[in-house]
Structure 1
Amino acid sequence: MYKKILIPVDLSEPAMSEKGEAAAVELAKIGDAEIRLVTVQFPTPLTFMDYVPDDFEAQLRENSESALKELAAGLDYPKEKVSTAIRLGSVYAEVLAEAEAWGADLIVIGSHRPSMSTYLLGSNAKTIVRHAKCSVLVARD
């Protein structure tokens, strides 16, 4: 089955990410796979740099690392088979880059049900599905 399962996590919407986490853990148990949780941070726009503390991005990274470790610890899966990663940039590009760099053979992503706004504007899940070099499972309610 799958040996390396990547789970993109949106730390600002934990309920959506939980869908993907649950599905990924069940699949990982079948094949004794490794799991990696990845989150993507947006770079702080240059126009805001005068209004945020000098260590703002370092604080964001530290908070993200802490939240990811907490999520990883909460998974019903052996801790030695779970890792985390934080990337900086656009969500879909960084998730795809992490999948390729880590050698993922499956990406499991939680997503909203399609609505008119996502048909017109697009979504990260849609772009990941279209451009991934490995299998992608989109988990919904």
Structure 2
Amino acid sequence: MFKTVLCPVDVNESGLEARAIATAVPMVKANGGTLTLLAVVLDSPVMAAEYLPPDFRENQVREAQDALTRLARETGLPAEQVQVRIRHGRPYHEILEEARATHVDLIVMASHRPGLSTYLLGSNSTYVVRHAACSVMVIRDQAA
């Protein structure tokens, strides 16, 4: 049913992605599909740019690439069934753009338990669920 699965990963929230990936991998295996692990590197505020080291963005991209490569190996999927992608910008926007550009069937993403700021401002997963053209599965963090 779901051949192309997109799994966004927040490389700064280690461990949160494990359940989402563990949910996505069996679907990909069962359907002979592909899994795309996506990290979004946030754009640095212009005001902060002068205070950051010159190679700050390159370091962020390298760290994200390393984390995604490690996670891809840990899926147990053959290399031709898992790919890694890095985008730059706002997470929810880039997740939706990646899903649209690659015509994914399903987005499987992790989400924190909602807090006050989430209720007032919304969250990436909430925005993705509302605006995605494909199915979205949100995996809740077990911590209560």
Q: What band does the TM-score fall into relative to the shorter chain? A: over 0.9
Q: What are the superposed Cα offsets for residues 35-87 of structure 1, whole Å, 9 maximum, x if unpaired?
A: 00001111111212222222221121111111111111111222221001111
Gaps of 5+ in 1: none
C-alpha distance in 1 between matches for 2:54 and 2:8: 28
Matches within 5 A, 1:43-58: 43-58=43-58
> CA–CA distance in 2 between the matches of 1:134 and 1:5?
10
- Which residue is 2:16 aligned to? 16
Higher helix share goes to which structure? 1
- Give the alignment of 1:37-76 within 5 angstroms: 37-76=37-76
Residue 53 to residue 100, structure 1, CA distance change in 2 (3 Å): same
**TM-score of the superposed pair, with normalisation by structure 1:** 0.93
Structure 1 residue identity aligned to 2:120:
L
Which range is displaced more, 79-88 or 112-121? 112-121
Q: For this pair of structures, how many residues does the alignment match?
A: 141
**Partner residue, 2:128:** 128
The Cα of 1:29 is off from its aligned counterpart by: 1.5
Moved over 2 A (4+): 113-121
Amino acid aligned to 1:97 = E
Amino-acid identity (%): 42
Aligned residue in 2 for 1:31: 31
The 2-side partners of 1:105 and 1:139 are apart by: 17
Indicate the residue corresponding to 2:83 in structure 1. Answer: 83
CA RMSD after TM alignment:
1.3
TM superposition score normalised by structure 2:
0.91
Provide structure 2 residue ranges, at least 5 long, that are not aligned to the other structure. none
Partner amino acid for 1:48?
A
